[in-house]
Amino acid sequence: MLTRPPVKFIDRIARALPQIVVAPGFAAILYFVYGFIIWTGYISLTKSKMLPNYTLIGTRPYERLFQMDRWSVAIENLFIFGFLFVFVSVIVGCLLAVLLDQKIRAEGFIRTIYLYPMAISFIITGTAWKWIMNPSLGLEKVIRDWGWESFRFGWTVDNNLAIYALVMAAVWQASGFAMALFLSALRSVDQDIIKAASLDGASPWRIYLRIILPSMRPVFMSAMVILSHLAIKSFDLVVALTGGGPGYASTLPANFMYEMTFRRNEIAVGAASAMVMLATVAAIMVPYLYSELRGKKHV
Amino acid sequence: MKTFARALCGAVSMIAVTAAAPALAEPKAEVLHYWTSGGEAKAVQALQEAFAARGGEWVDAPVAGGGGDAQAAVLRARVLAGDPPAAVQIKGPNIQEWAEAGALGDLTAVATAQDWDKVLPEAIQNIVKYEGKYVAVPVNVHRVDWIWANPEVLAKVGAEVPTTWEEFNETADKLQAAGIIPLAHGGQPWQDATVFETVVLGIGGTDFYRKALVELDMDALGSDTMIAVFDQMRKMRGYVDPDFPGRDWNLATAMVMRGEAAMQIMGDWAKGEFAAAGKVPGVDYVCASTPSDNGYLLNSDSFAMFNVSGDDNVEGQAVLAELILGTEFQETFNLFKGSIPARTDVPRAEFDDCAIKSMDDMVAAAEGGTLLGSMAHEIAQAGAVRGAFIDVATAHFNSDMSSQDAVDQLVKAIKLAQ
């Protein structure tokens, strides 16, 4: 008679070990991320003012949100800032990567210089650029002192240009990161194909445009996703560089959310704006994840 | 930060328990405040010492930064967790909101014993009372509607500090023609709103200010007077230098000190900057109220007393309340802070000329019924409504919006915020 040996307790533990180890982290994420998303969604439908209040009043907070001039300015700014920030960073990063890929001297050193801004917090970037772009003590003053009297560089003090000042500082910070992503992708392109192409007489320009860049498509995708969620959650850069001003001309949705929730006793409206931001992120992330996961299955 | 503060509180109280185990209900108070810098920190230190001298145990819970935003977040969490601090630095309508939420204690016993009704102007009583009962203690009064001027610069164009808004505009035009910046200003929303409210007070008068900014009367908000206010704001925009956006208020004060600009409109915390630079009032700088019909815009800090349990805590609150409104502390604190006492019977010998003028004007305004709460500094309005005023004032000041559009937007924004 063959009897199955009893499963030892220790074996059972060993088998369940991965689940046990992952469980606390999983539970914490479930509670602190998804639990609070649901809580925020609920609060955005209540009449919460200074303290959370659980009386439902429907979509009134959303209606009020979309009637606020400050919110429409913030949303418009998000589109300007997000679009320019992502595209300029990708283009500048890509150009830098291609230039660095030309087997130049001291590449490691130069690469480090370009990558370092990423290691600085946005608060520092914002403060430094605030000084650089301040008309009475920054770049404008320097150039005027050199003799170009009519030179004007007052982006941070101009109602219509302040948002572009934010783009400039953010691009300065993030393009080095994009460069690093692209550089590693450039290096991982199969050298045999490139050699074959150059044997066939393709110019370097043509090789980049037709072979290397198309094969880097997934990297473009990740760079864009990473940069666009950076753009949507931008908060500290605005606080440090323009303070949302002049007026509230350069405010972003994250700043709006903070202002409503913590300064104006409008927790419901703040929560509503947070849900709209979440929906914006989801609109970008979900198609990306969907295409990624579906792609994996076919491979 | 919060957890650290709580850990610290825990540690402090543990030490206290082990050290003073046999003591009876010893007065004890945890004080949540955001006075962490310079003169303010010294002022709190003075209160702490006075409290200790009465045998009290002070648990300090400072939350630095954000002009009280960070503290507000801590306070909310503590109240929701059912563990509020004894005394919290909050002001204006926020006191009423917390009282409405049922979170504040009752100070009637101390108030009656100390006769607070006699020594506090009615406008201040209204701020710290809820349904006729004292729930908070006022610490000081800052006046908001001041002009800080450099007399030497004004003398260059043969002008004095203006006493009407027409005169203000004439003087400013002359200064501008002479190549001097007439108005030193920092373009931050709250500073724009500070100028805005003094203009409302000046152009519209005290009754109009009360109707529009305190009672939120829609007719007043949409009136021609309000259009005139925005017209004056547009003129003022022409009197500031082009680099003003984002500038901190103290840098604007420094422009007046250095003679780059002639005047600044700012509350009397600006005096601290002049004093720190060793300037003498009446000689190096002049303080004058902005033109109005004897109006007085006040900004008053106060400590609200929360519902606490335990005899030691209740006793601590009573002692603290008595000390805060005591003449001695009101004098020391306000000398450090540059404001004036909230009670009107404090000895004046130590105060400077600007403070004494402020005291006289406050008493006169209280008698004449022209003592009003500041909107920009969260006394007349707080939260959403104040935010709506600030949004429109700053949007108008920083763009080329017409006065009519500004008024329309103001009416819409205030309706939305109510």
| B133-134 and B296-299 strand pairing | unpaired
3-class DSSP state for residue A242?
coil
Q: Give me A56's structure tokens.
A: 């439902």
- How many domains does chain B divide into? 2
User: Which residues, numbered 70 to 89 in chain A, qualify as contacts with chain B under a Cβ-Cβ cut-off of 8 Å?
Assistant: 70
B387/A259 CB distance under 8 A: yes
Chain A residue with the nearest C-alpha to that of B103: A51
Is the pLDDT at B403 greater than 90? The verdict is yes
- Alpha-carbon gap, residue B5 to B8, rounded angstroms: 5
Is the pLDDT at B177 greater than 80? The verdict is yes
Lowest-confidence pick of A111-115, B3-7, B279-283: B3-7
Looking at the domain assignment, is residue B314 inside a domain?
Answer: yes
Q: Give me A26's structure tokens.
A: 């999983």
B395/A247 CB distance under 8 A: yes
- Alpha-carbon gap, residue A256 to A254, rounded angstroms: 5
CB proximity A47 to B under 8 Å: no
Low-confidence ranges of chain A (pLDDT < 50): 298-299
Shortest Cα distance, chain A CAs vs residue B67, angstroms: 10
Is the pLDDT at B72 greater than 90? The verdict is no
Do B335 and B403 fall within a single domain?
no
- Alpha-carbon gap, residue B413 to A71, rounded angstroms: 12
Query: Which pLDDT does position A3 carry in this prediction?
Result: 63
Looking at the domain assignment, is residue B361 inside a domain?
Answer: no
Shortest Cα distance, chain B CAs vs residue A261, angstroms: 10
Burial degree of B81 (CB within 10 A; 0-12, 13-18, 19+): exposed
Max avg pLDDT among B106-110, B226-230, B247-251: B226-230
Beta bridge partners of B61: B32
Which among B333, B355, B377 is the end of a domain?
A: B355
- Alpha-carbon gap, residue A68 to A75, rounded angstroms: 11
Q: Which residues of A touch B386 (CB under 8 A)?
A: 264
Do B320 and B208 fall within a single domain?
no
Q: Give me B402's structure tokens.
A: 């017409």
- Alpha-carbon gap, residue B241 to B186, rounded angstroms: 10
Query: Which pLDDT does position A198 carry in this prediction?
Result: 85
Do B294 and B308 fall within a single domain?
no
- The residue among A16 and B66 whose pLDDT is bigger is A16
Q: Which residues of B touch A159 (CB under 8 A)?
A: 398-399
Nearby residues of A70 by Cβ (< 8 Å), 6 or more positions away: A248, A251, A256, A259, B391
A247/B413 CB distance under 8 A: no
B246/A245 CB distance under 8 A: yes
Nearby residues of A200 by Cβ (< 8 Å), 6 or more positions away: none
Shortest Cα distance, chain A CAs vs residue B392, angstroms: 9
DSSP string, B268-301: TTHHHHHHHTT--BTTTBEEEEPSSSS-EEEE--
Q: Which residues of A touch B382 (CB under 8 A)?
A: 265
Query: Which pLDDT does position A295 carry in this prediction?
Result: 63
- Alpha-carbon gap, residue B116 to B110, rounded angstroms: 8
Shortest Cα distance, chain A CAs vs residue B388, angstroms: 9
Query: Which pLDDT does position B262 carry in this prediction?
Result: 94
B76/A50 CB distance under 8 A: yes
Do B52 and B88 fall within a single domain?
yes
3-class DSSP state for residue B64?
coil
Is the pLDDT at B176 greater than 60? The verdict is yes
The answer to whether B398 and A246 have CB atoms below 8 angstroms apart is yes
- Alpha-carbon gap, residue B341 to B331, rounded angstroms: 7
User: Which residues, numbered 187 to 226 in chain A, qualify as contacts with chain B under a Cβ-Cβ cut-off of 8 Å?
Assistant: none
Q: Give me A214's structure tokens.
A: 């198309």
Do B284 and B387 fall within a single domain?
yes
Query: Which pLDDT does position A1 carry in this prediction?
Result: 52
Q: Give me B39's structure tokens.
A: 């003169």
- Alpha-carbon gap, residue B48 to B61, rounded angstroms: 12
List the one residue out of A163, A155, A156, A159 whose CA is nearest residue A74. A163
Shortest Cα distance, chain A CAs vs residue B78, angstroms: 12
Helical H segments across chain A, by residue range:
9-29, 36-43, 60-67, 69-100, 107-115, 122-133, 139-145, 162-187, 191-199, 204-207, 213-215, 217-232, 236-241, 253-258, 267-298
Q: Which residues of A touch B73 (CB under 8 A)?
A: 262
How crowded is the C-beta side of B162, counted as CA atoms within 13 Å?
24
Looking at the domain assignment, is residue B360 inside a domain?
Answer: no
Lowest-confidence pick of A274-278, B123-127, B188-192, B308-312: B308-312
**Percentage, residues of chain B above pLDDT 90:** 45
Distances (CA, A) of B125 to A150, B33, B276, B322, B342: 56, 21, 32, 15, 10
Do B59 and B197 fall within a single domain?
no
Looking at the domain assignment, is residue B29 inside a domain?
Answer: yes
Query: Which pLDDT does position B67 carry in this prediction?
Result: 65
Do B343 and B379 fall within a single domain?
no
Q: Which residues of A touch B79 (CB under 8 A)?
A: 51
- Alpha-carbon gap, residue B338 to B350, rounded angstroms: 12
Do B96 and B43 fall within a single domain?
yes
Do B259 and B387 fall within a single domain?
yes
B398/A247 CB distance under 8 A: yes
Pick from A69, A159, A262: which is nearest to B73 by CB? A262
Do B412 and B310 fall within a single domain?
no
Chain B residue with the nearest C-alpha to that of A70: B391
The answer to whether B72 and A262 have CB atoms below 8 angstroms apart is yes
Do B267 and B387 fall within a single domain?
yes
pTM: 0.83
Is the pLDDT at B14 greater than 60? The verdict is no
Q: Which residues of B touch A259 (CB under 8 A)?
A: 387
Q: Examine the predicted complex and report whether its ipTM is higher than 0.85.
A: no
CB proximity A55 to B under 8 Å: no
Please report the number of interchain residue pairs, chain A to chain B, with beta-carbon separation below 8 angstroms: 94
CB proximity A266 to B under 8 Å: yes
Pick from B94, B188, B398: which is nearest to A249 by CB? B398
Chosen for mutation from A263, A266, A269 (greatest number of chain B CBs closer than 10 Å) is A263
A243/B382 CB distance under 8 A: no
Task: Check which CATH number belongs to the domain holding B282 and give it.
Answer: 3.40.190.10
Q: Which residues of B touch A49 (CB under 8 A)?
A: 97, 383-384
- Alpha-carbon gap, residue B152 to B132, rounded angstroms: 49
Do B212 and B270 fall within a single domain?
yes
**Mean local confidence (pLDDT), B371-398:** 90
Query: Which pLDDT does position B9 carry in this prediction?
Result: 47
Shortest Cα distance, chain A CAs vs residue B235, angstroms: 17
Shortest Cα distance, chain A CAs vs residue B373, angstroms: 18
Query: Which pLDDT does position B25 carry in this prediction?
Result: 61
The answer to whether B104 and B305 have CB atoms below 8 angstroms apart is yes
A154/B242 CB distance under 8 A: yes
- Containing structural domain, residue B343: 2-142+301-355
**Mean local confidence (pLDDT), B284-305:** 92
**Mean local confidence (pLDDT), B203-225:** 93
3-class DSSP state for residue B46?
helix
Pick from B188, B189, B416: which is nearest to A68 by CB? B416
pLDDT digits over A208-245, tens only?
888 888 888 888 888 888 898 888 888 999 989 888 87
Looking at the domain assignment, is residue B135 inside a domain?
Answer: yes
**Average pLDDT taken over every residue of chain B:** 87
Task: State residue A105 phi and psi, 5-degree precision.
Answer: -75, 155
Chain B residue with the nearest C-alpha to that of A65: B416
Burial degree of B190 (CB within 10 A; 0-12, 13-18, 19+): middle
Shortest Cα distance, chain B CAs vs residue A6, angstroms: 49
Is the pLDDT at B233 greater than 90? The verdict is yes
Q: Give me A277's structure tokens.
A: 């931001």
Domains of chain A, CATH where assigned: 69-298 (1.10.3720.10)
List the one residue out of B37, B277, B32 whose CA is nearest residue B150. B277
pLDDT digits over B113-145, tens only?
888 998 898 889 989 999 989 999 999 999 999
Q: How many C-beta atoms lie closer than 10 Å to residue A249's C-beta?
A: 21
B244/A157 CB distance under 8 A: yes
Q: Which residues of B touch A262 (CB under 8 A)?
A: 69, 72-73
List the one residue out of A253, A61, A136, A71 whose CA is nearest residue B395. A71
Q: Give me B321's structure tokens.
A: 């309340």
